[in-house]
Amino acid sequence: MHKSQEWRLDMKWSNRGHEFDKSWKQIESRKRVYLFGAGEYGELVWRTLNKTVGICGFLDNDQSKQKGVYCSLPVYAPGEVNPKDRDKCIVLCISPNTRKEVIFQLMQAGFIYNENMFTMESYISIYYAYALQKVYFPSVSFLPSTRCNLNCEACLNFTPYMKKFDERPWEQIKEDVDLFFKAVDDIMLFHISGGEPMLYPRMIELVEYIGSRYRQKIHVLKTVTNGTVLPKEKLLQTLKKHNVVLTVDDYREAVPDSKDTFDRLILTLEKLGVSYEINKVDEWIDLAPLTTHHESWSEERLGKKFDGCHVPWQELRGGKLYSCNYSSYAIVAGLSKENPADSYDLRSYRPQQARELMEFRMGYNERGYVEFCKNCSGYVDLNPNKVQPAKQGERRR
């Protein structure tokens, strides 16, 4: 790989609605597609594209998967695809948090980012916008309420800094959901977050509203719980009805009093047949909103930081999409100012703006960064502040 090869982009709009024209020409010319990652993401991408795109097989670094079959397609070693073959390209179907090493691995082999190697988010989003004139979103974060029973010191929702919990009116929440799905044709992951969603009093109604009206547009519908509260059985039955995956955070080490509740919750989920996954991590990052100050940085430097973050989420709130969900959370918590350049107003969206909306979801905006970049230590790729997960502290509000 040449040291000059760059896989990051300038995310400041310069040709709105046409930022991916060159990438589309590459995608259109490369008819033989290989999906890197014979796993959950690979299957999701295969299900999305297999009827319209010529998917030839999977690639995987796991030798136990190589020469096998996945989703009825052969699995190859990455080296079996030649980067000089002008009709072939690779789509990375692995987590945004773990793909950095694979990107550099493929670059060293001679692949070029956004030419014959694409992330799943960019490939599908570009394909939908250009080939189908539709809008595809990799994910979105939706918070009906910031109410939470914990006070984690490094909460990425900045709960300790909130003077009061934010719980938006029900009519506004329904309007947000309707606006979103009026603009977006398909989404890989719609995530109902918080706060603690199991404490939101209209959670059953929200899941029912989304599930009954828009479930066919959502590949994966998820919500989350901190594992310290036991949801009502009716809510869990509603999650099961609409095939919602419940992510159960394991905070038993940081919150030892929750052990009994956590165990009871898992047993209840098993008994009711609710889809769930347990999330236990060794460390968190602290965005350090009170100790990080980049107000003196140039716009160019802030732009490089914003792109280097690779934050995989945007938030839907108040009829708008926010470029960075953590920036949006900081606004709600009173830690950052709201700048109109950092959001996209869905209330004025028109179908002919499909490419523009796709570009915004892929990270483009008017400045190439967001206001909170001036007071944030950055997401996983950049953040040196590693802390104990769910460590409880004093309320700072």
| Predicted pLDDT at 381 | 81
CB atoms within 10 A of CB 163: 10
33 to 25, 87, 88, 126, 324: CA distances (angstroms):
14, 9, 6, 15, 30
Average pLDDT over the chain reads 94
Residues counted in the chain: 397
pLDDT digits (tens, 9 = 90+) for 49-87: 999 999 999 999 999 999 999 999 999 999 999 999 999
The span from the CA of 118 to the CA of 49, in Å, is: 14
pTM confidence score:
0.95
Between CA 311 and CA 366 the distance in angstroms is 17
pLDDT at 100: 87
Q: What is the C-alpha separation between 13 and 364, in angstroms, rounded?
A: 6
Say whether 324 sits in a helix, a strand or coil. coil
Low-confidence ranges of the chain (pLDDT < 70): 1-9, 395-397
Q: Which domains are seen in the chain, by residue range?
A: 20-132 (3.40.50.720), 136-387 (3.20.20.70)
Summarize pLDDT for 125-178 with one digit per residue, the tens.
Answer: 999 999 999 999 999 999 999 999 999 999 999 999 998 999 999 999 999 999
Residues 253-273 pLDDT 10s:
999 999 999 999 999 999 999
Cβ atoms of residues 130 and 355 within 8 Å: yes
Backbone angles phi, psi at 254, to 5 degrees: -80, -30
End-to-end CA distance of the chain: 49
How far is Cα 66 from Cα 77, in angstroms, rounded to an integer?
6
